Amino acid sequence: MSLIGFAFFRRSYSAHASYAQSKLALIMWTYLLDRTFQRLGNCITCNAVHPGIVNTPLYRHIHWSIALFLRPIAQHLFLVG
């Protein structure tokens, strides 16, 4: 994980890369929190789970040819017209 890229100091911006890095940071934080609780002897367990498919406008940033392929799949999954 690039901490420089996470701070958005890169030359180019990618919505997908930024989203992926934020999810990776969340997993890393959850892992660290769980290890910290275990070391302290607490019986608290921390979990990071996949949120599933969420209909967000994130895909407005993808190339039109990929959108052409993904749109029918997304319409089926999200049940939108």
Positions marked catalytic? 19
Nearest Cα neighbor of 61 from 21, 4, 13 is 13
- Residues 6 or more apart whose CB falls under 8 angstroms from that of 67 comprise 59
Q: Rg (Cα) of the chain, in Å, rounded? A: 17
- Residues 6 or more apart whose CB falls under 8 angstroms from that of 75 comprise 81
